[in-house]
């Protein structure tokens, strides 16, 4: 029998984002006969902290910023002597690669990219973008494996970091804990008081790239045609107040509900008539695989990258042109008139089953 691999999984914290959800799901599905996972966080905070499997050893460095955690991180690596390090989120990845020469052992280092790198760099000021691009080009080739969540992300990495050998960049889809999602989706019906309305829901962090401004403008058109429609927005972020003001200026504030962060978003998906992903860019939108498991109809912007790889050529949800309000509105109105096909969604969701994805991770470990 092969040796159990000790894998040190590193993430800054367990805030309520996609990367944090992926790590918690992955930890719960790795085969303990093949892998001994240990979780290292710079600060153990966030809503997903409560979902860490009970058998996982957790190292909490208790540092607010990664730069203050570098020395403790080196000490823990040298104490634990892992076979493999899996790091996720860009600045954590860069930090691990920067200090790897101080590790007493030479573990395989796998960095997991959480978004489309070229797109994420565009969000920074030009001078910071230049510095970060230089750091990625210097440090990422030093990783043993660079994991991406979609083929689109993989092509982006190879295009941007041209010195990285193609065989180093491996695509593994994000894991979906189907049993957890479907069980949680049955918890309650959040729309019990508005049964006669057509419910549209969107889930995500309220930042520019998620495109909630596009959705609000598109929903205004949908609501004009069908006054029984209501829009529920789940998530928090720096643009929340601005988006609320946009809803007011569009005259739709009575039909748009800002729900904030929901630890269990799945009933909002299951009992909705339509889920919309209006993003300008994505890495791998977990919300789409979760929506498939919930059996809800889907409209998604055909942005880079991920939606097309999840939904196919609109076989499992309608893809519309990215960054276009009219296309989004037309797609929403078209889908609201269609019947649900829950079986097809669940069948597609099986492609992302957490155990299947965990096996792929075990392979690269």
Query: Where residue 340 falls among pLDDT bands split at 50, 70, 90?
Result: confident
pLDDT band at 202 (very low <50, low <70, confident <90, very high): very high
The predicted pLDDT at position 1 comes to: 53
Q: Are 332 and 200 in contact (CB under 8 A)?
A: yes
In this structure, the chain runs to a length of: 365
Note the pLDDT of residue 134.
94
Q: How confident is the model at residue 17 (pLDDT cuts 50, 70, 90)?
A: confident
Q: Which neighbouring-strand residues pair with 246?
A: none
Domain identity same for 93 and 204 = no
What whole-number distance in Å separates Cα of residue 259 and Cα of residue 204? Answer: 11
- Whether residues 229 and 94 share a domain: the answer is no
* 83 and 199 together in one domain: no
233 plus 123 within the same structural domain: no
Please check whether residues 152 and 241 belong to one and the same domain. no
Containing structural domain, residue 227: 179-351
- Range 301-340 burial, b when 16+ CB lie within 10 A, else e: bbbbbbbbbbbeeeebbbbbebebbebbbbbbbebbeeee
Would you say the pTM of this structure is higher than 0.85? yes
pLDDT computed for residue 142 by the predictor: 95
| The predicted structure's pLDDT at residue 231 | 98
- 90 touches 102 (CB < 8 A): no
How many helices and strands (H and E) does the chain possess? 15, 13
Q: Which residues contact 363 (CB under 8 A, 6 or more apart)?
A: none
Given a cut of 60, whether residue 295 has pLDDT beyond it is yes
Same domain membership, residue 300 and residue 274 = yes
Q: Of the candidates 256, 252, 208, which has an alpha carbon nearest to the alpha carbon of residue 233? A: 256
SS3 state of residue 191: coil
Indicate the pLDDT class of residue 344, thresholds 50, 70 and 90: confident
DSSP, res 353: B
Find out whether 215 and 231 touch, Cβ atoms under 8 Å. Answer: yes
pLDDT of residue 312: 94
Regarding whether 200 and 145 lie in a shared domain, the answer is no
pLDDT > 70: percent of the chain? 100
**pLDDT for position 62:** 96
Phi-psi label, residue 306: left if phi above 0, alpha if psi -120 to 50, beta otherwise: left
Q: Who wins on pLDDT, 340 or 209?
A: 209
- Ranking 13-22, 182-191, 199-208, 354-363 by mean pLDDT, the lowest is 13-22
271 and 152 within one domain: no
**Are 140 and 232 in a shared domain?**
no
Lowest mean pLDDT among 88-97, 193-202, 328-337: 193-202
pLDDT exceeds 90 at position 18: no
**Residue pLDDT, tens place only, 158-185:** 999 988 999 999 999 999 999 999 999 9
How far CA 317 is from CA of 174, 195, 327, in Å, comes to 18, 23, 14
Tell me the pLDDT band of 187, cut-offs 50, 70 and 90: very high
In this prediction, residue 130 carries a pLDDT of 94
User: What CATH number is given to the structural domain containing 75?
Assistant: 3.40.50.2000
| 94 & 242 share domain | no
- Other Cβ atoms within 10 Å of 179 Cβ, number: 11
**Once rounded to an integer, what is the mean pLDDT over residues 31-37?**
97
Per-residue pLDDT, 361: 98
259 and 298 belong to one structural domain: yes
User: In 3D, which of 40, 90, 49 has the Cα closest to residue 283?
Assistant: 90
The total number of structural domains in the chain stands at 2
Please state the rounded mean pLDDT for residues 323-331. 98
The 10s digit of each residue's pLDDT in 48-104 is: 999 999 999 999 999 999 999 999 999 999 999 999 999 999 999 999 999 999 999
Taking the C-alpha atoms of residue 292 and residue 167, their distance in angstroms, rounded to an integer, is 31
Average pLDDT, the chain: 95
Which has the closest alpha carbon to 286: 191, 205, 190? 205
Residue-wise pLDDT for 40-61, tens only, equals 999 999 989 999 999 999 999 9
The answer to whether residue 304 scores a pLDDT higher than 70 is: yes
Q: Are residues 282 and 325 in the same domain?
A: yes
Tell me 68's DSSP state: G
């Amino acid at each position: 029998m092969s040796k159990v691999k000790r894998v040190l999984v590193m993430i800054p914290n367990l805030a309520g984002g996609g990367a944090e959800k992926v790590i918690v799901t992955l930890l719960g599905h790795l085969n303990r006969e093949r892998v001994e996972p240990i979780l290292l966080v710079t600060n153990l905070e966030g809503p997903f902290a409560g979902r860490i499997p009970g058998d996982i050893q957790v190292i909490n460095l208790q540092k607010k910023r990664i730069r203050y955690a570098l020395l403790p991180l080196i000490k823990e690596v040298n104490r634990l002597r892992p076979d493999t390090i899996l790091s996720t989120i860009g600045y954590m990845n860069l930090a691990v690669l920067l200090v790897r020469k101080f590790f007493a052992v030479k573990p395989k280092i796998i960095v997991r990219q959480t978004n489309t790198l070229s797109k994420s760099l565009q969000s920074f000021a030009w001078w910071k973008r230049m510095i970060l691009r230089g750091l990625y080009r210097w440090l990422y080739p030093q990783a043993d494996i660079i994991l991406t969540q979609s083929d689109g992300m993989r092509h982006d990495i190879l295009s941007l970091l041209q010195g990285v050998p193609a065989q180093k960049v491996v695509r593994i889809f994000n894991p979906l804990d189907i049993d957890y999602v479907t069980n949680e989706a049955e918890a309650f019906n959040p729309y019990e008081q508005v049964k006669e309305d057509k419910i549209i829901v969107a889930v995500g962090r309220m930042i520019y790239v998620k495109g909630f401004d596009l959705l609000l403008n598109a929903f205004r058109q949908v609501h004009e045609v069908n006054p029984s429609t209501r829009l529920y927005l789940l998530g928090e972020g720096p643009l929340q107040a601005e988006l609320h003001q946009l809803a007011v200026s569009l005259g739709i504030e009575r039909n748009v509900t800002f729900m904030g962060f929901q630890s269990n978003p799945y009933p909002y998906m299951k009992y909705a008539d339509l889920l919309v992903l209006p993003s300008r860019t994505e890495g791998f939108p977990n919300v789409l695989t979760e929506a498939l498991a919930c059996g809800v109809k889907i409209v998604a912007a055909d942005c880079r990258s991920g939606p097309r790889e999840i939904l196919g050529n609109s076989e499992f949800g309608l893809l519309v042109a990215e960054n276009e309000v009219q296309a989004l509105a037309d797609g929403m109105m078209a889908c609201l008139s269609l019947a649900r096909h829950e079986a097809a969604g669940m069948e597609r969701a099986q492609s992302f089953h957490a155990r299947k994805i965990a096996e792929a991770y075990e392979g690269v470990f």
